[in-house]
Amino acid sequence: MSAAASGTSKAAHSDAGLKKKRGPGALATAYLVIYNVVMTAGWLVIAVGLVRAYLARGSYHGLYYSIEKPLKFFQTGAILEILHCAVGIVPSSVVLTGFQVMSRVFLTWAVTHSVREVQSEDSVLLFVTAWTVTEIIRYSFYTFSLLNHLPYLIKWARYTFFIVLYPMGVTGELLTIYAALPYVQKTGLYSVTLPNKYNFSFDYYTFLILIMISYIPLFPQLYFHMIRQRKKVLGHAEDYSKVE
């Protein structure tokens, strides 16, 4: 599933966990703060890299190459979030977090990295931009929440920007996978054909199509879940401001 998609839903569950009375111990909290600060800085590096490359080239075409390495590094670094859930320092579902993190890692490595022909597609820049803004906000949100000093502006951004970033990211991801299909079919990338000693076959082309189809039921569910979360989290503050 989607990467911008993955970020928003994962956040909803993690945000709920942060509100639980019993949080991580002092050592775990210190580690999580450092982790989230590093990840925030990493995605800021990606954002700066995109802006600098755009200003230098005067065009948004092919900007992926300017941030390819840090994107792969910090997106892969999100795998640690699965470990955080597994050891219990973050009270989120291991299965759900694993699915959402690995969907982004999959798009990063198994599609964009593996099919070099799609790297110059504008759709890649579309989802990379959505991921970058989403992650800067998300990791900042977690950092300040752990420190018990969450600015309202960050909380508002956390539950507002997804309205545009989520569809933007999903669109970029789908278009990128779609652009990869002809090359996957032509080269037989990652496919296994019969006969072979394992008596097993796998068609990566069909697999990618099934992934695209999975967006149809999942996207609306995750999107409207975040809409409900927004009303729940920001509703009281907005009602209070109207009274004032």
Task: Kindly list the catalytic residues.
Answer: 166, 173
CA distance 226 to 169: 15
The strand pairing partners of 202, in sequence order, are 192
Q: How many helices and strands in the chain, by DSSP H and E?
A: 9, 0
Q: Which residue has the tokens 């080239």?
A: 57
Are 175 and 109 in contact, with CB atoms under 8 Å apart? no
Q: Are 112 and 71 in contact (CB under 8 A)?
A: no
Q: What are phi and psi of 200, to 5 degrees?
A: -140, 140
* Nearest-angstrom CA–CA distance, 214 and 166: 16
CA atoms lying within 13 Å on the CB side of residue 169: 28
Contacts with 45 (C-beta within 8 Å, 6 or more apart), sequence order:
70, 74
Q: Determine contact, residues 37/138, Cβ cutoff 8 Å.
A: no
> Cβ(29)–Cβ(156) under 8 Å?
no
Taking residue 148's Cβ as centre, other Cβ atoms within 10 Å add up to 9
Beta carbons of 75 and 131 less than 8 angstroms apart: yes
